[in-house]
Amino acid sequence: MPHLKPKAPIVIAIDGTSASGKSTNSKLVAKALNFVHVDTGAMYRTLAWYCLKQRVDVQDDKAVAAACRRWKTALKCDDGIAYLEVGGYYPATEIRTAEVSAAVPHVAAVPKVRDWMKKTQRECLKFGSLVMEGRDIGTNVFPETDFKYYLDAKLEERSRRRAADGIQENLAARDQRDSQRAAAPLMIALGAKVINNSLMTAEQTSGTILADIKKRTADREKRAVKGATTEKLKR
Ligand code: DC
């Protein structure tokens, strides 16, 4: 697919369960379109890492919200990837440890944290068009976008993928926590295209998303032309 050159920046929202292929496919889609890739899970992980480092009790919502108020961050973008620096440092490897994975759902359930994240994630538009992956991008961060995707796969397949990456994790428990929290729970956004990729390769999944973006872009253009014609006829 040729690079899209939208007049105003657009957002491709990719949500879904853990290990449903969000990262792999968002990166492939971002590369194909020459859009900036934003991993919002990494932002929550960065806050969880910061809390652990600062000895903040991640089960204490007030303490986590206070840490989120005081941490000094900068939104950066290098080589088409947006990320959050804390005190001038991006903890790329540290945020992938089992300790951070266990702490992050607690941090992500705090409403004040979610407000802060939403604001910061929306600021990423300053970098241009985005492919943003997470759990609430289509429902909460960019509900206005026309491009929403929800990835899922069978639990056994997702567990197999995690194990292949050398990570043993109780995905069912994490999904349950992400789906049942009060603040911006994991949900299928209205109008989202749901892709169950249990039996699909990454190329097939990203290809399905790219084909749908092409179709939705053409539909949008048709709607815009129709709107302009109706406007003209009215005058
Ligand atoms: O995608 P991930 O496993 O790196 O996400 C880490 C955690 O952050 C996970 O528990 C879900 C949560 N998260 C969220 O609540 N909202 C997002 N937009 C992204 C991630």
Q: Where are the alpha helices (DSSP H) in the chain?
A: 22-33, 40-53, 61-70, 98-108, 111-123, 155-164, 171-180, 202-234
Cα–Cα distance for residue pair 156/152, rounded to 1 Å: 12
13, 146 Cβ separation under 8 angstroms = no
- For the segment(s) 11-234, the CATH number from 3.20.20.140, 3.40.50.300, 3.20.180.10, 3.30.310.50 is 3.40.50.300
CA neighbor of 44 nearest in space, from 89, 127, 102, 128: 102
Tens of pLDDT along the chain (235 residues)? 556 677 789 999 999 999 999 999 999 999 999 999 999 999 999 999 999 999 999 999 999 999 999 999 999 999 999 999 999 999 999 999 989 999 999 999 999 999 999 999 999 999 999 999 999 999 999 999 999 999 999 999 999 999 998 877 788 888 888 888 888 888 999 999 999 999 999 999 999 999 999 999 998 888 888 888 888 888 7
Question: What residues flank ligand 1, with Cβ below 6 Å?
Answer: 18, 40-41, 44-45, 104-105, 108, 134-136, 174, 178
Task: Provide the residue ranges of all domains of the chain, joining segments of one domain with +.
Answer: 11-234
Mutate to test the pocket of ligand 1, among 23, 135, 179 (most ligand atoms within 8 A of CB): 135
Instruction: Supply 175's token pair.
Output: 């999904």
Q: Which residues pair with 77 in a beta bridge?
A: 82
